[in-house]
């Protein structure tokens, strides 16, 4: 920080953007190809999705699909799949909470305790991404296997009984093929999405403020909850969103680690699209999922009171 003698550190977008150099039209030409691609294959598809959700529900791959403005698809889809929808939100919510607690510890350790190992630890946080997501998820099948030691330990400390009582497992000798396994898988897979924004925000916390709290006789606990945690809120908000959103739409964990009773909304959408060819219901479900997520995100961001996400 001190070595950049006299030069203000350039870190935010606005500092450099304040002195644009290009000629007027160059910016448009540069962004045009990328923008067109996103417009064609990200924005316009939403329109197609909404359109397909209003198709005549009797359509199929063979007979073709007819646009009949059938708004009833939404009612039918919601009634038929509300179990999966609720489960998706519940599982994703629980996984996000677990990620927040576990990820906070890791992010805090990297930001304040890692010293010169900081960069290495950050690389290690994203390193799991370098192996196949599916293979890592399948590994959990082996870890949680019925005759494995994880189940043994969980039984010995009566964790299985507790899980059974709160309904995360169904029998007291299995972890696999239960909601617990699905939530554990989601937690594992999306943890880096939580850790990175948390770290980015903790890294910016001025350590002198935490020290000041200590000097004013705040206990470390109090100092944390009154100073550090509030200052890291933007990271908490960004991290929970980046974890919750993909987790709510995921179906790989539910498919590989769960059972027929743990199906999430993603499972239904993908099988309606690819095997049943019911585009109307699948489209309606996708739109419902998106609307729920957008509503939840807006409500959440408003409550948490941060707007510096983008």
**Stretch 133-152 residues interacting with other proteins (CB under 8 A):** 133-143, 145
Is 286 a binding residue for other proteins by CB under 8 A? The answer is: yes
Which of 218, 273, 304, 306 is the binder for other proteins (CB under 8 A)?
273
Nearest approach, Cβ of 17 to other proteins (angstroms)? 7
Which of 58, 60, 78, 105 is the binder for other proteins (CB under 8 A)?
105
Q: What gap in Å lies between CA 135 and CA 139, rounded to an integer?
A: 6
Q: Which is nearer to other proteins, 75 or 142 (CB)?
A: 142
Segment interacting with other proteins, rule: CB under 8 A, options 14-22, 151-159, 229-237, 299-307: 14-22
Which of 57, 188, 205, 237 is the binder for other proteins (CB under 8 A)?
188
Q: Which is nearer to other proteins, 165 or 298 (CB)?
A: 298
The region that residue 69 occupies, defined by phi over 0 for left and psi between -120 and 50 for alpha, beta otherwise, is left
Segment interacting with other proteins, rule: CB under 8 A, options 69-77, 111-119, 161-169, 203-211: 111-119
* Continuous H helices in 109-232: 118-126, 133-143, 149-156, 159-165, 179-204, 207-215, 220-223, 229-231
Q: What gap in Å lies between CA 107 and CA 94, rounded to an integer?
A: 19
Q: What gap in Å lies between CA 9 and CA 34, rounded to an integer?
A: 30
User: Quick check: helix, strand or coil at residue 60?
Assistant: strand
Q: Which is nearer to other proteins, 169 or 243 (CB)?
A: 243
Q: Which is nearer to other proteins, 22 or 86 (CB)?
A: 22
Q: What gap in Å lies between CA 167 and CA 179, rounded to an integer?
A: 8
Q: Which is nearer to other proteins, 36 or 165 (CB)?
A: 36
**Residues in region 31-90 near other proteins by CB under 8 A:** 31, 33-35, 37-39, 41-46, 48-49, 51-52, 61, 65
Inter-residue contact 239 to 193 (CB < 8 Å): yes
Which of 77, 202, 245, 254 is the binder for other proteins (CB under 8 A)?
245
Nearest approach, Cβ of 91 to other proteins (angstroms)? 13
Residues in the chain: 310
Q: What share of the chain is helix, strand, coil (3-state, %, to 5)?
A: 75, 0, 25
């Amino acid at each position: 920080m001190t070595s950049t003698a006299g030069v203000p550190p350039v870190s935010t977008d606005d500092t450099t953007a304040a002195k644009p150099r290009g000629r007027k039209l160059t910016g448009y030409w540069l962004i045009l190809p990328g923008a067109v691609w996103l417009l064609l294959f990200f924005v316009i598809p939403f329109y197609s999705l909404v359109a397909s959700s209003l198709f005549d529900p009797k359509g199929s791959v063979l007979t073709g699909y007819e646009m009949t403005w059938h708004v009833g698809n939404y009612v039918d889809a919601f009634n038929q799949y509300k179990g999966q929808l609720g489960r998706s939100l519940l599982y994703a919510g629980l996984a996000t909470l677990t990620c927040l607690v576990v990820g906070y510890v890791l992010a805090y350790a990297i930001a304040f305790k890692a010293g010169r190992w900081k960069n290495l630890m950050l690389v290690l946080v994203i390193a799991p991404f370098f192996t196949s997501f599916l293979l890592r998820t399948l590994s959990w099948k082996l870890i949680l296997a019925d005759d494995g030691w994880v189940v043994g330990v969980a039984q010995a400390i009566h964790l299985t009984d507790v899980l059974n009582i709160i309904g995360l497992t169904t029998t007291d000798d299995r972890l696999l093929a239960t909601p617990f396994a699905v939530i554990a898988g989601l937690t594992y897979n999306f943890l880096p999405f939580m850790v990175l924004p948390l770290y980015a925000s903790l890294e910016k916390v001025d350590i002198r403020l935490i020290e000041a709290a200590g000097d004013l006789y705040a206990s470390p606990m109090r100092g944390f909850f009154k100073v550090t945690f509030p200052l890291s809120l933007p990271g908490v908000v960004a991290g929970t969103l980046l974890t919750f959103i993909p987790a709510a739409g995921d179906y790989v964990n539910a498919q590989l680690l769960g059972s027929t009773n743990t199906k999430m909304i993603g499972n239904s959408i993908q099988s309606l699209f690819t095997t049943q060819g019911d585009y109307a219901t699948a489209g309606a479900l996708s739109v419902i999922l998106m609307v729920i997520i957008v509503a939840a995100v807006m409500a959440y961001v408003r409550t948490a009171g941060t707007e510096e996400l983008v």
